[in-house]
Structure 1
Amino acid sequence: MNKLVVKKKIKKKDHPSLDIVSSHGVELSGKKIVLCVAGSVAAYKAIELARLLMRHGADVKCVTSNAVTKLIQPEYFKWATGNEVITKLTGELEHIRLADYNQSDLIIVYPATANTLGKLANGIDDTPVSTVLTVGFGSKIPILMCLAMHASMYENSAVEKNIEFLKNKIEFLSPKMIEGKAKSPEPEDVLDFVLKKFGFSSVLKNKKVLMTAGPTIEYIDPVRIITNLSSGKTGSLLASELISAGAKVTLVYGPANEEPPVGAKIINVTTNKEMFGEIKKELKKKYDIVIMAAAASDYTPQNISKSKIKSDKESLVIRLKKAPKIIDQVKKLQKDTLLIGFKAETNLTKNALIKSAQKKMKDSGADIIIANDIGEKYQKNPNYNQVFFVDAKNITTSGWKRKEKVVKFIRKEIEKTLK
């Protein structure tokens, strides 16, 4: 008697990298995204971008230029996405499978070079990346280009012409002008853009936010002042981050070094008294959130000389008086707003810093205090910081990061509070 042999079909195991899919959200679930990586040293950030998109549910397939494979091995992109990487076009018609009509939901070029931009604008398709873009452009698949190059290239008239030609046909995410280079946007910025494109709406959308940022200066005489070293960078970056999330931001801004963010209503002030006056005026209107990020002066001269003090004296005594704590008045003016304050200390232990934040929260009636230490470690590189987000129930920390990433952490914590 013959035995019937039944072979059990073994399901192919998913790539281990796919374990992260939808671990942070399902907003991009079912979305097929093609990630074209052009030949720039910023290509290493494309790995992080792919993973971020996957964590929100996307299926990501990478296409790389030959120049990229000299910087990053294709297996790295395969590890990151769980999908085969397109490094050349074959009889399998990879460009058609990825970019023909309705084959994908979005093509992202990250980083995008001047060369890649020029090829798309002029219909040149001599690499896997440029051919996929040519097909996608023709089939009307949305294209998001994230430029990265030297500032002189970005300002080249031919590059400007190509951007002008494409600007109403594809989408651009502006580069960051840093150190003479038009650097690619951070992966988190690209993720935020993509989430908004597919309908994700931050809880901050249309929230009215009143912020202070920067230092104040207090006059001793018409030409001499007392002030502090606040650059206004964290406050300005945070305001920009909130605007990107859809908030309506009014920024009461002291005389800081940083340019105020585009998209905010800016109220320029100089002294603590002026800042307080503008806050009282603004709080006659309803605000959902008030963020006191300014390093407003704690003391101001008791008597201000109307004329320049002569410099022939051997010594000079200047009496200072306590300046009003603006944050202490906010809840008295508008009790139902979400009040967020900042607390800066120097060279404290973590526990001491948190206790200081908790005391300020109690004294001011704030809902949240963001504490940071601006002592020796911070002063070695003021572009980096670590903050503690302290509320009545929880304490979370950003870790030691660039300020651009610190403000993203703050924004996400604020969003969690509002949910």
Structure 2
Amino acid sequence: MFQGKKILLGISGSIAAYKIILLTRLLTKSGAEVKIVMTPAARDFVSPLTLSTLAGNPVLVELSDNASWSNHVMLGRWADIMVVAPLSCNTLAKMATGQCDNLLLATWLSATCPVMVAPAMDEDMWHHPTTKDNLTKLESFGVRILQVGNGPLASGLSGDGRMAETEEILKELEHFFFHTQQLKGKKVLITAGPTHERIDPVRFIGNHSSGKMGQALALELANRGAEVTLVSGPVQQSLNDARIEVVPVVSAQEMYDAAVAYFPFTDLAIMAAAVADYMPVTVSAEKIKKQEAAFSIELTRTPDILKKLGELKSADQLLVGFALESTNEKEYAKGKLAAKNADFIVMNSLREAGAGFGHDTNKITVFGKDGTETAFPLKSKKDVATDIVNLLMPHLNA
């Protein structure tokens, strides 16, 4: 299955390292060439001798052995993909902050190949806010993060944090090698995040959008080989992926201008941004002082990006909009689909727990102009992005 594929395995210190013995065996048996880099702590959990015997290549642990040095730059250039499994909480934190105190980290920092990680840690560590932040950082770098499992843990407890099983890692590698070129040659435009409409030099009208849904879509489409342009409003965590062109904007007008400029050259446009509906008619050049008990601002509509792209859309372009509603959700979403000349509307509801702004999860229903209605259960935004792209695939390849 993996004949001729070059796979670099990175192993960090976790009891789950024992699973890499079988993974190495199955990869080499299927024709892959496997090289292995370990952290010093990983040696406490699995033997380099065992792994080197199975891989047919020396296992590297130290940057040098006093006689020669391990060329970490060439390792990252040699591989078709680097898989860090297990990814311990400690190594995750170091990767997220750019630390470089061992060979595995030096290899990761200099790797030019795609990187996939399989986290493994105790449940409380997995759910800690710092871990979530570190995983978000890695995702923003373009790293593919495998889902952890739920079950018995090394602590004796049971819960989330188990490393993905060998079969799951093999499935992800198969997807990487044989499905990542599905959208090669396709150009995609995505908008994400909020817009900020200035009131004065320090105040603005905006919303709580994090941009995570648009970013997840950008990564999913890039993973399938598409050329992605992400027009992003002000977000706390920006994408840093060489495959994705990020165009930063602030206001609705700036987002409108960028979307209209890029749209003629795209095959697919997904408007996932939460664009402010109104902006001040007049923007004060100075900070407005607190004076009266009551204060009013005259507002006017911002430009309608989805409607404009619907007017510009050609027969061979696909246009997808988002609708975040709190009442009469289906009615408004279907109305938006028709009024904006979109091909699909992705609807989520503020009334659904775990959906909407400020969550890492989402629950959507997708309406098509052909009358189709496809509902999905609550999932991570990464998995929601996969569902959306899977739904669009037949139309992109038509």
Aligned residue for 1:173?
Answer: 116
Q: 1:104 aligns with which of 8, 13, 30?
A: 30
**Identity value in percent:** 25
Q: C-alpha distance in 1, partners of 2:211/2:271?
A: 12
Paired residue secondary structure (2:320): strand
Change (3 A) 1:233 1:130: same
Aligned residue for 1:20?
Answer: none
Aligned residue for 1:364?
Answer: 340
Aligned residue for 1:208?
Answer: 187
Q: C-alpha distance in 2, partners of 1:29/1:158?
A: 29
Quick check: 2:117–2:146 contact (8 Å CA) kept in 1? Answer: no
Q: State the Cα distance separating 1:296 from its structure 2 match.
A: 0.6
User: What do the CA deviations read for 1:80-136 (whole angstroms, capped 9, x no partner)?
Assistant: xxxxx969xxxxxxx9xx579x742348899x97369779xxx9314xx55423469
Quick check: 1:173–1:190 contact (8 Å CA) kept in 2? Answer: no
Paired residue secondary structure (1:211): strand
Change (3 A) 1:136 1:354: farther
Quick check: 1:114–1:153 contact (8 Å CA) kept in 2? Answer: no
Quick check: 1:153–1:159 contact (8 Å CA) kept in 2? Answer: no
AA of the residue aligned to 1:323? T
Aligned residue for 1:229?
Answer: 208
TM-score by length of structure 1 reads 0.65
Larger radius of gyration: 1
Quick check: 1:106–1:144 contact (8 Å CA) kept in 2? Answer: no
Aligned residue for 1:320?
Answer: 299
List gaps (5 residues or longer) in structure 2. 60-77, 120-129, 139-143, 148-167
Q: C-alpha distance in 2, partners of 1:293/1:321?
A: 22
AA of the residue aligned to 2:366? F
Paired residue secondary structure (1:354): helix
Q: C-alpha distance in 1, partners of 2:253/2:108?
A: 46
Aligned residue for 2:373?
Answer: 395
Q: Residues 20-419 of structure 1: matches in 2 within 5 Å?
A: 65=18, 98=25, 103-106=29-32, 114=39, 124-126=48-50, 129=51, 131-134=53-56, 145-147=83-85, 148-149=87-88, 150=90, 151=92, 155-160=99-104, 163=107, 172-173=115-116, 178-179=131-132, 185-186=145-146, 191=171, 193-197=173-177, 199-200=178-179, 202-262=181-241, 263-283=243-263, 285-336=264-315, 337-346=317-326, 348=327, 352-375=328-351, 377-378=353-354, 382-391=359-368, 392-419=370-397
Q: State the Cα distance separating 1:181 from its structure 2 match.
A: 5.8
Aligned length: 331
CA RMSD of aligned residues (A): 4.5
User: What do the CA deviations read for 1:386-405 (whole angstroms, capped 9, x no partner)?
Assistant: 11122123222331111121
TM-score by length of structure 2 reads 0.68
Paired residue secondary structure (1:365): coil
AA of the residue aligned to 1:133? A
Q: State the Cα distance separating 1:40 from its structure 2 match.
A: 7.3
Q: C-alpha distance in 2, partners of 1:272/1:380?
A: 18
Change (3 A) 1:106 1:298: same
Aligned residue for 1:47?
Answer: none
Q: State the Cα distance separating 1:295 from its structure 2 match.
A: 0.5
Quick check: 1:99–1:135 contact (8 Å CA) kept in 2? Answer: no
Q: C-alpha distance in 2, partners of 1:104/1:280?
A: 48
List gaps (5 residues or longer) in structure 1. 1-27, 44-63, 70-84, 88-94
